[in-house]
Amino acid sequence: MSGVIASDARAESQLREDVCRLAASLFDRGLTQGASGNVSVRLPDGGLLVTPTGRSLGRLDPGRLARLGADGQLVSGDAPTKEVPLHAAFYQTRGTAGAVVHLHSAHAVAWSTLPEVDPENALPAITPYAVMLLGRVKLLPFFVPGDPLTGEAIRGLGGRRSAVLLANHGPVVASRDLEAAVNAMEELEATARLALLTRGHHPRLLSEGEVARVVKRFDVEWDG
């Protein structure tokens, strides 16, 4: 039993370092700013490590990350982000979710404000990579930051989406582990940037048949 406890402690220590390292990378590259954005990872015991409220992702302390128990209560560390409800909603509805990343990345936020965005399929199929890493992205309406209704809206999707775009706010991505969630988030922001760059130029998007081939080839979860 002591060996299991020691192994879990080592795993948690590494996850703390990984959260701070990857969060700083996102911040340093301008994908979020100020004290915006938040990151969480699921622990082996069902609890969560969550970035603290009011803290820049560029300057996190591994020892001060919020540690939540499986019941969602704070066990140690600083107070967690006010966006815990949206993180919890993904973990509760997607059994494969091992990490959640929420940013205020500029291009994704800008794209979320445009009237032509399809709420059921918010990102245009410009390249195969967003299809591969994100599946269909759902555009949710505006909620005040920290509103528990954001979590209810995500929970209402029944686990069918791994990524959502919060209108006038920013993207949220859940994936199997932290690195995969960060990679998917970067792809979401890049696709939003491409969409803005090509807006009004009538770009040739991937056809439905081409998207279907990507979905089949890479076994993408593609909610219709």
Q: Has residue 222 been placed in a domain? A: no
CATH of the domain at 55: 3.40.225.10
Q: Are 65 and 50 in contact (CB under 8 A)?
A: yes
- C-alpha 162/C-alpha 168 separation (Å) is 19
pLDDT of residue 177: 97
- C-alpha 200/C-alpha 102 separation (Å) is 28
Q: Has residue 223 been placed in a domain? A: no
pTM (two decimals)? 0.95
- C-alpha 52/C-alpha 37 separation (Å) is 10
Quote the tokens at residue 169.
């706010």
Q: How many domains does the chain have?
A: 1
Q: Has residue 46 been placed in a domain? A: yes
pLDDT of residue 223: 73
- C-alpha 46/C-alpha 165 separation (Å) is 26
Q: Has residue 166 been placed in a domain? A: yes
**Range(s) of the domain holding residue 166:** 2-217
In the block, tokens 């089949």 appear at 216
Would you give the DSSP letter of residue 64?
G
Number of CB atoms found within 10 A of residue 200's CB = 7
pLDDT tens-digit map of 189-221: 999 999 999 999 999 999 999 999 999 999 999
Regions of the chain where pLDDT drops below 50: none
pLDDT of residue 6: 60
pLDDT of residue 192: 98
Q: Has residue 42 been placed in a domain? A: yes
Quote the tokens at residue 151.
């979590």
The residues that are catalytic are 83, 129
Q: Are 185 and 173 in contact (CB under 8 A)?
A: yes
pLDDT of residue 3: 59
Q: Do strands 163-166 and 138-140 pair parallel, antiparallel, or not at all (unpaired)?
A: parallel
In the block, tokens 């006010």 appear at 82
Q: Has residue 224 been placed in a domain? A: no
